[in-house]
Structure 1
Amino acid sequence: MAINFEKAFGIHQYTIGIRARRTEVLAGNIVNADTPGYKARDINFKDALLNARSRSGVFLNRTHESHKFAQSFSMAQSGELYRISNQPDTGDGNNVDTEVERNLFMKNSLEYQASLEFLNSKISGLRKAIKGQ
């Protein structure tokens, strides 16, 4: 009998990759906190998870059968968007708030660790089942 990883791991197999990508985005925000004109970015977790589970991108609607099929590629496809600033413009166009970014980075790290722990316990259970323990 084959193991169905979709049933065994649920959404956690996808959350690891999304949280890793969000770590990169948040780290990029922190690094560019003093870069003039830099706009803070973040991952829309819900949209990124839906895209990861469906393995599909953003498809363009066709209004006529003779139109070509096309797929759009953008930051939004991966759930990555610009963040709306909660602080006034400092004059250089940069909207990164390092305290907000650090807090989001730490929260994302904890959620990443929780997903890893969950997957580790699932894999451990599968190993025991395979060995007959």
Structure 2
Amino acid sequence: MAISLDKAFSVHPKALQLRIERSEVLASNIANADTPGYKARDFDFQAALAGERRKYTSSLERTNEKHINVQSTINDGLQFRTPAQPDTGDGNTVELQAERNEFLQNQLRFNASVKFMTDKITGLKKAINGGQG
């Protein structure tokens, strides 16, 4: 019996990729905290993942080539963040503490996703080896 990695992992590899991309955006915000006129950016992780989930689900439910194939594309979704604090006069909208908190939360969620994938791979290896890890 063949093991389908697409079915085993679902959207989790894409979730990891989105977490990496979000880390890069947040790191850029942190690096530019003192750059005059820099506008903090971010994207809606849940919306991006929901788009991938719809794409994954719609491709699984299509049972005949005559069925309509709904493809969702992730638009980069990068938006400017609305600052909670008033402008300090230099036009920079980075709130360093908020960016650090978002970065930390994103990293924790990335680590949880890696743990999930690792556990899934361990389970698949046990299935392949007949119960021995």
Query: Which TM-score applies when normalising by structure 1?
Result: 0.79
Which residue of the partner structure matches residue 22 of structure 1? 22
Higher strand share: 1
Q: Specify which of 111, 126, 129 is matched with residue 127 of structure 2.
A: 129
Which residue of the partner structure matches residue 110 of structure 1? 108
Gaps of 5+ in 1: 59-76
Instruction: Using the TM superposition, give the Cα deviation of residue 52 of structure 1 relative to its aligned residue in structure 2, in angstroms.
Output: 3.4
Q: Specify which of 44, 48, 73 is matched with residue 57 of structure 1.
A: 73
Gaps of 5+ in 2: 56-70
**AA in 2 matched with 1:15:** A
Instruction: Using the TM superposition, give the Cα deviation of residue 11 of structure 1 relative to its aligned residue in structure 2, in angstroms.
Output: 2.6
Which residue of the partner structure matches residue 91 of structure 1? 89
**Whole-Å separation in 2 of the counterparts to 1:12 and 1:79:** 19
C-alpha RMSD of the superposition: 1.6
Identity of aligned residues (%): 51
Query: Which TM-score applies when normalising by structure 2?
Result: 0.79
Which residue of the partner structure matches residue 68 of structure 1? none
Count of residues paired in the alignment: 115
**Whole-Å separation in 2 of the counterparts to 1:15 and 1:57:** 15
Instruction: Using the TM superposition, give the Cα deviation of residue 32 of structure 1 relative to its aligned residue in structure 2, in angstroms.
Output: 0.4
Whether contact under 8 Å (1:51, 1:78) holds in the other structure is no
Which residue of the partner structure matches residue 46 of structure 1? 46
